Structure 1
Amino acid sequence: MEKLDSIIFYNIDKAIRAYRNYAQRQLKANGFTITIDQWLIIKAILENPGITQNEIGDLVFKDNASVTRIIELLVKSEYITRTPNPDDRRKTNLEVTKSGKEIIQKVQNLVEDNRKIALEDVSAEELEIMNSALLKISKNCLNTKK
C-alpha cells in the first residue's frame, strides 16, 4: 500500500495548506487584519471590473456562502462597496475603495516576500516543469466526461 507522502495530490494539498498558513501568519505578524481570502477577493474585484459573486467564487475556489460572508466583512471594513445593479436587481456592483486599494498595495510586498521564501531552493526549471504539470492536471480533470 502506498504511503501518503508518496501521493502527488496529497503533497500538492499539503504544500498549499502550508503556504496559506505561513502567509496568514506573516500577515498577522506584520500587523495586517486582512485574511488571505479577503486579499484574494479584493484582487479579483480589482482585476475584473464588473465581476459577479459567482464568478469570484469560481476564481478563488470558494463557495457562494463563503464569498458572501467575506464580501460582508470587506464592506464592513470599508475595503469594498456594494451597490445594487440598476439593470438587474438580483445582482450587485462591487467596487474596491481607496482604502481597499491601499491595503492591496501594502500587502503586495509581503505576498512577494512570502513567495520568495516558499520557493527558496526551487529552480526556475523546476518551477516551469511543476507549473506545466499542474496545468495539465487541471486540464485533464476539467475536460473529463467520466
Structure 2
Amino acid sequence: MSHYESELQTFFINTIGGLKISMKNIMKENGLTLSPLYFMILKNIHETENCTANYLADITERDKGQVTRLIQEVVNQELVIKSPNPNDKRSQFLRLTEKGLSFYQQLAKADQAALKKMRANVSDEELKTFLDTGAKMLSNLNAINKKT
C-alpha cells in the first residue's frame, strides 16, 4: 500500500472510532446504556415509514438475529413499539414511542453538534469535494465487495 492509501485507511479507522466514542459519550450523558448502533436503529425507525426488522437488517448490513436482539432491547426500554403489518403477518412495523422519540431527538441534536464541531474550519466547497470523493471510493468498495 502506498503512503496515501495507508493514511486514508488510518483516517477512516480513526474517524469511525472518534464518531463512535462521541456517540457513546452523548448517549451516556442522556442516560442511555446503549451503543451507537442503537442510535442508528432509532434513526432508521424514525425516518422510515412502516419500518420492519428486515429493512433494518438490510440497511445496517447485520444479520436478522442480531437486529431482532437490538429491537428487543429498545422495546424493553420502551423506546420502540411493534404493531402488526397488515400486508405480511410474518413481520411487524416498528415505531418510536414518545419516550423513544424524545431520546432520539436529544441524541440527534447532540449528534449534529458533534458533527458541526468535526467540520469546523472546513468550507462547504471542501466538504462537498470530500463527500464526492468519498462517494466514489465507497462505490469502488461496493463493486469489489459484490465480486466476493
Please state which band the TM-score falls in when normalised by the shorter chain: 0.7 to 0.9
Structure-2 change in CA distance of 1:65 and 1:44 (3 Å): same
Distance 2:56 2:62 in 1: 8
Distance in 1 (CA, whole Å) between partners of 2:54 and 2:24 is 24
TM-score by length of 2: 0.81
RMSD: 2.4
Instruction: Flag the 1:105–1:39 CA change in 2: closer, same or farther, 3 A.
Output: same
Partner of 1:121: 121
Note the residue ranges of structure 1 that are not aligned, 5 or more in a row. Answer: none
How far the C-alpha of 1:73 sits from its partner, in A, is 0.7
Looking at structure 1, the residues matched to 25 and 124 of structure 2 have their Cα atoms a distance apart, in angstroms, of 26
Verify the 8 A CA contact 2:51 2:95 in the aligned structure 1. no
Shift of 1:13: 2.5
In 2, Cα distance between the equivalents of 1:114 and 1:136?
Answer: 25
- Of 136-145 and 113-122, more deviation after overlay is shown by 136-145
Cα deviation for residue 5 of structure 1 reads 7.7
Structure 2 vs 1, CA of residues 39 and 8 (structure 1 numbering), >3 Å: closer, same or farther? same
Q: How does 1:63-102 map to 2 (within 5 A)?
A: 63-102=63-102
**What is the identity percentage for the equivalent residue pairs of Structure 1 and Structure 2?**
26
Deviation string 1:82-116 (CA, Å, 9 cap, x unpaired) is 23434323212211111111111222221111112
How many aligned positions are there? 145
When structure 1 is superposed on structure 2, of 45-54 and 128-137 the one drifting more is 45-54
What TM-score does the superposition give when structure 1 sets the normalisation length?
0.82
Match in the other structure for 2:31: 32
Which deviates more, 9-18 or 40-49? 9-18
Query: Which letter maps to 2:95?
Result: E
